Amino acid sequence: NFYRSDTMAPNTTMATGVLHECDDEIQAQIIPPEVSKPSNRKLELVWRNIILFVYLHMVALYGLYIILTSAKLLTTFFAIFLYICGGLGITAGAHRLWAHRAYKAKWPLKVILTIFNTLAFENSVIEWSRDHRVHHKFSETDADPHNAKRGFFFSHVGWLLCRKHPEVKVKGKSIDMADLEEDPILAFQHKYYLALMPFACFIIPTFIPMYYWNETFVNSFSANIFRYVFTLNATWLVNSAAHIYGHKPYDRFINPAENVSVSVFALGEGWHNYHHTFPWDYKAAEFGKYSTNFSSMFIDFFAKIGWAYDLKTVSQDMIQKRVKRTGDGTHEIWGWGDKD
C-alpha cells in the first residue's frame, strides 16, 4: 500500500482527497519497471526555472542587504506584513482550508485567502492542492512530487527545477479535485492565474511603498523579492527539514517529524509528524496552538466572527491511543507549558 489508511478519520476521505475505490485501478496501471527503479530516474532539468530561481535568490539577498541598510522602516514592516498575509494564504488557505478541508469558510474569508494566496505565488490553489494531496497519499514514494527520500535539496527546491516523475502524473490521476474545481472563486483564480499573480505578488507590493512613503523603486522591488523568497523557503522547509529532522511522537514509522524551528518560520506548519498522522485537524498540531501556530489563531479569530466554521480536530482519546501504539516515546516532552 502507498498510504496508511489508518491515518484517515472515518468519513474524512475528502480531507486528503483520497479515493480508496480507485486505488486498485491506478496501481494496476503499468509503469515500466525501469522507470520505477530509483537508479533509473531520469532527471530532466527545466532551465527556465533554474535561471529564475537563481535570479530571485540573488535579488532576495540584495533585498536583505537593502532592508538592513537603506530601506525605510515602513518598507520593512510592509514586507513583514506581506509575508504574514501571503503565508496565511498558503497555511490557512491552500493547505488547511482547501487541500485538507479541515474547516469551512464563508465566501468573504475565501476571497481574502485567495488574494493572500495569489500574493504568495506558489501556483494556483487548485494546482498546489493537487500536488499536496498526492504528497499525502503517496508520501515518500516516486509518486510524491517532493519525495524526501531523494534528499534535502530535491524535497526543498530541486523538484521545482525538473520535470515530475512519471509516477506523480499517473498516480496523481487518482486524486479527486472536483470539490476545488467546482468552487467559482478557485476556478477564477486558476483560470486567470497568469494575469492575477504578477499584480498580487510583484506589481502592487512594489508600487505601494513608492507611492505612499516615497520609497525608491530598487529598495521597494528588492525588499518585496526578499519577502517572496523568504516565504518560499519557509514553505519548502516543511517538505525538506520537517521530513528529515525532529521527533516522531505520533508515528515513528513515517518520516515527517515535529520541527519547532520550521513551525516558527512557517506560521505553525512544522508539526509535521502530527499533521501526517492526523491531516484533517485544522490546527495541524496538537500543542502550541498560539505560541507557534499563528495560522490557528487566524482561523480561530474568523471562527469567532462566524466566517470560519465546522473546524475539525482530533479527540484526546484518539491521540493518546495513537501515541501509545505508534509513537516514539517523546510525546511527553511536547505538551509542557501549553496554555491553549
What are the residues binding ligand ST9 (CB under 6 A)?
46, 49, 87, 90-91, 95, 121-123, 128, 130-132, 134, 145, 160, 163-164, 168-169, 172-173, 175, 231-232, 234-235, 238-239, 266-267, 269
* Through-space distance between the first and last CA atoms of the chain, rounded to whole angstroms: 37
Nearer to ligand ST9, 95 or 248 (CB): 95
Question: At 230, is the secondary structure helix, strand, or coil?
Answer: helix
Give min distance, CB of 132 to ligand ST9, in A.
Answer: 5
Name the minimum Å distance from CB 121 to ligand ST9: 6
CB of 15 to ligand ST9, least distance (A): 14
Is the CB of 61 or the CB of 162 nearer to ligand ST9?
A: 162
- What distance in Å separates the CA atoms of residue 239 and residue 272, rounded to the nearest whole number? 9
CB 300 → ligand ST9: shortest distance, Å?
18
Q: How many CB atoms lie within 10 A of CB 337?
A: 8
Judge whether 217 and 162 are in contact, CB under 8 Å: no
Which run of H or of E encompasses 291? none
Q: Which helix (H) or strand (E) holds 309?
A: strand 308-309
In the bound complex, which residue of the shown chain has the CB atom lying closest to ligand ST9? 172
Q: Among residues 128 and 282, whose Cβ is nearest to ligand ST9?
A: 128
For residue 208, the one-letter residue type is I
CB-based contact 175:17 (threshold 8 Å):
yes
* Shortest Cβ 334–ligand ST9 spacing (Å): 19
For ligand ST9, the closer CB: 189 or 215: 189
Smallest separation (angstroms) from ligand ST9 to the CB of 71: 21
Cα–Cα distance measured from residue 80 to residue 98, given in angstroms and rounded to the nearest whole number = 24
Nearer to ligand ST9, 169 or 321 (CB): 169
Q: Judged by CB, which is closer to ligand ST9: 48, or 304?
A: 48
Helix axes 73-88, 204-213, angle to 10 degrees: 150
Q: For cell 466572527, what's the residue?
A: 305
Q: Please, are residues 272 and 242 in contact by the beta-carbon 8 Å criterion? A: yes
CB of 321 to ligand ST9, least distance (A): 25
Nearest residue (CB) to ligand ST9, 169 versus 324 = 169
Least Cβ distance, residue 324 to ligand ST9 (angstroms): 27
Query: Cell 504574514 appears where?
Result: 84
Looking at the Cβ atoms of 122 and 142, the one nearer to ligand ST9 is 122
Considering beta carbons, is residue 123 or 313 the nearer one to ligand ST9?
Answer: 123
Within its chain, how far is the Cα of 39 from the centroid?
Answer: 29
Rounded (10°) CA dihedral 76, 77, 80, 85: -140
Grid coordinates belonging to 222: 528588492
Helix 217-239 and helix 107-120, axial crossing angle in degrees, nearest 10: 100
Task: Tell me which residue of 126, 99, 107, 118 sits closest to 284, measured CA to CA.
Answer: 99
Q: Report in angstroms how near the CB of residue 115 gets to ligand ST9 at its nearest.
A: 15
